[in-house]
């Protein structure tokens, strides 16, 4: 049976361990440690550890420089994925809040897989992980655009049988999407597991699709509602848990149909599918459509940048702790990206917070 492990943090420097002892980071005595309960997660979500301060100062400066380069029409959006809660050092909420606040960033994608137990756990642990993740990211929840990951709705009461059971559609909506519906800038599709939000000032639409219910209803919603932007100078970023950044189209359900729709949108043409892909989709973007900037996701647990029929696909690696690369008490603990979109130069600057390197790429505009 999956068992939640008690963890503690140092109230002086936010270093984490179990059980409490003298802090190996700042040497505060054991009495300065606090168990991470409900209020503890709220506290962790507000306080940036001292060992991250210089790193964040440098990265925030970099983001501002890219935003100045991008100018009035440029904007930024965050991307984090695969937090796998129990295996996480749990400082990303505070880091994300600091970066989004200081750099005036309206949204970030959480590309899914927030749960921990790789589908060998009781149902209750899914909701425990989600609730604790929401506490960690409470300060930025209204900016969070969360996708469904392949682990997020699967569980098993049988330790030797992973992926044995799934949440019902109502349970999935209640746990992962109802809280996102509280914010009035979201426009949801029929099932409530895919939606978009938009930044009208910078003419950007951010779309979240559901990899694991990719049927004609969702494809039609994507083509005819989500991509029905006000004018051709609007930009779009798409997020799914799995994106084809490694050119593995077989891992992305209905990938051929999604690619056909996206290419019609960005090339201002039409697309009509045949029935060999399991759904018939027809859409005409002649004289409309817009700029398709990138398709982002996680899942692969590595940084990837691919090009699929001219569509730029970006995957961010996992935020959870994986040793030896991710060292406790150092900036390598966590990992997420800030994408700064330069609409004038048709370029995206990807600034890495935590472990890993910055990246950049260009996208096509027709």
19 and 160 co-located in one domain: no
Same domain, 336 and 231: yes
pLDDT at res. 276 = 78
> How far is residue 263's CA from residue 295's CA, in Å, rounded to a whole number?
12
Domain membership flag for residue 41: no
Domain-located, residue 28: yes
pLDDT of residue 164: 75
Mean local confidence (pLDDT), 181-202: 96
15 with 127, same domain: the answer is no
Q: Are residues 113 and 149 in the same domain?
A: yes
- Note the pLDDT of residue 39: 67
- Give yes or no: residues 173 and 198 share one domain: yes
Share of the chain above pLDDT 70, in %: 89
How large is the average pLDDT for residues 15-23?
Answer: 62
Does 114 lie in the same domain as 26? Answer: no
Quick check: 166 pLDDT over 90?
Answer: no
In this predicted structure, the answer to whether residue 2 has a pLDDT above a threshold of 70 is: no
Q: Is residue 96 part of a domain?
A: yes
The H or E element that residue 342 is part of is strand 335-342
Q: Are 11 and 154 found together in one domain? A: no
Q: Could you read off the pLDDT of 84-128 as tens digits, one per residue?
A: 887 788 899 999 999 999 999 999 999 999 987 566 677 888 888
Per DSSP bridges, beta strands 187-188 and 195-199 are antiparallel
- pLDDT tens track for 40-93: 677 778 889 999 999 999 999 999 999 999 999 999 999 999 998 877 888 999
pLDDT at 294 over 80: yes
User: Which residue segment(s) compose the domain that 204 sits in?
Assistant: 49-362
Instruction: Tell me how far apart the alpha carbons of residues 295 and 299 are, in angstroms, rounded to a whole number.
Output: 13
pLDDT given for residue 325 in this prediction: 86
Torsion (CA) 172, 176, 178, 184 in degrees, nearest 10: -140
CA dist., res. 279 & res. 286, Å (int): 22
CA dihedral (33, 37, 39, 45) positive or negative: positive
Write the pLDDT tens digit of every residue in 228-272: 999 999 999 999 999 999 999 999 999 999 999 999 999 999 999
What DSSP string runs through 122-185? -HHHHHHHHHHHHHHTGGGGGGEEEPPPTTTTEE-SSTT-TT-EE--HHHHIIIIITGGGGSTT
Total of domains in the chain: 2
Taking residues 28-43, what's their average pLDDT? 68
15 within domain boundaries: yes
- Please check whether residues 19 and 111 belong to one and the same domain: no
Whether 8 has a pLDDT exceeding 80, the answer reads no
Do 29 and 177 belong to one domain?
no
Residue 27: pLDDT band with limits 50, 70, 90? confident
Largest pairwise CA distance in the chain: 68
How many CB atoms are closer than 10 A to CB 36?
21
Q: Say whether both 29 and 98 belong to one domain.
A: no
Same domain, residue pair 324 and 204: yes
Query: How many CA atoms within 13 Å lie on the side-chain side of 142?
Result: 8
Distance from C-alpha of 305 to C-alpha of 312, rounded to nearest angstrom: 7
Residue 44 belongs to some domain of the structure: no
Q: What is the CATH number of the domain that holds 259?
A: 3.60.21.10
Asked if residue 262 is part of any domain, the answer here is: yes
Does residue 43 lie within any of the structural domains?
Answer: no
């Amino acid at each position: 049976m999956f068992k939640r492990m008690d963890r503690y943090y140092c109230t002086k420097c936010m270093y984490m361990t179990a059980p409490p002892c003298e802090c190996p980071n700042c040497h505060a005595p054991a009495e300065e440690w606090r168990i991470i309960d409900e209020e503890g997660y709220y506290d962790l979500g507000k306080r940036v550890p001292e060992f991250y301060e210089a790193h964040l100062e440098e990265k925030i400066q970099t983001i501002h420089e890219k935003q100045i380069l991008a100018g009035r029409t440029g904007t930024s959006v965050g991307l984090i994925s695969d937090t796998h809660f129990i295996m996480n050092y749990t400082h990303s909420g505070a880091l994300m809040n600091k970066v989004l606040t200081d750099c005036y960033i309206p949204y970030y994608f959480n590309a899914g897989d927030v749960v921990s137990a790789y589908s060998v756990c009781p149902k209750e642990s899914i909701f425990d992980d989600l609730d604790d993740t929401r506490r960690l990211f409470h300060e930025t929840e209204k900016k969070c655009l969360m996708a469904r990951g392949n682990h997020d709705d699967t569980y098993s009461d049988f330790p030797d049988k992973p992926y044995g059971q799934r949440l019902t559609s109502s349970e999935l909506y209640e746990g992962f999407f109802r809280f996102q519906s509280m914010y009035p800038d979201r426009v949801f599709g029929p099932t409530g597991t895919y939606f978009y939000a938009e930044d009208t000032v910078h003419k950007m639409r951010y779309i979240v699709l559901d990899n694991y219910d990719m049927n004609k209803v969702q494809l039609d919603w994507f083509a005819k509602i989500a991509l029905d932007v006000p004018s051709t100078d609007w930009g779009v970023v798409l997020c799914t848990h799995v994106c084809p950044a490694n050119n593995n189209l077989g891992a992305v359900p209905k990938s051929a149909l999604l690619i056909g729709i996206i290419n019609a949108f960005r090339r201002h043409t039409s697309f009509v599918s045949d029935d060999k892909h399991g759904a018939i989709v027809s859409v005409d973007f002649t004289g409309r459509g817009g700029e398709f900037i990138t398709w982002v996701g996680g899942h692969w647990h590595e940084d990837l940048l691919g090009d699929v029929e001219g569509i730029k696909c970006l995957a961010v690696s996992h935020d959870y702790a994986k040793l030896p690369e991710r060292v406790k008490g150092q900036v390598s603990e966590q990992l997420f990206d800030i994408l700064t979109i330069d609409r004038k130069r048709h370029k995206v600057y990807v600034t890495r917070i935590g472990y890993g390197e910055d990246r950049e790429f260009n996208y096509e505009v027709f």
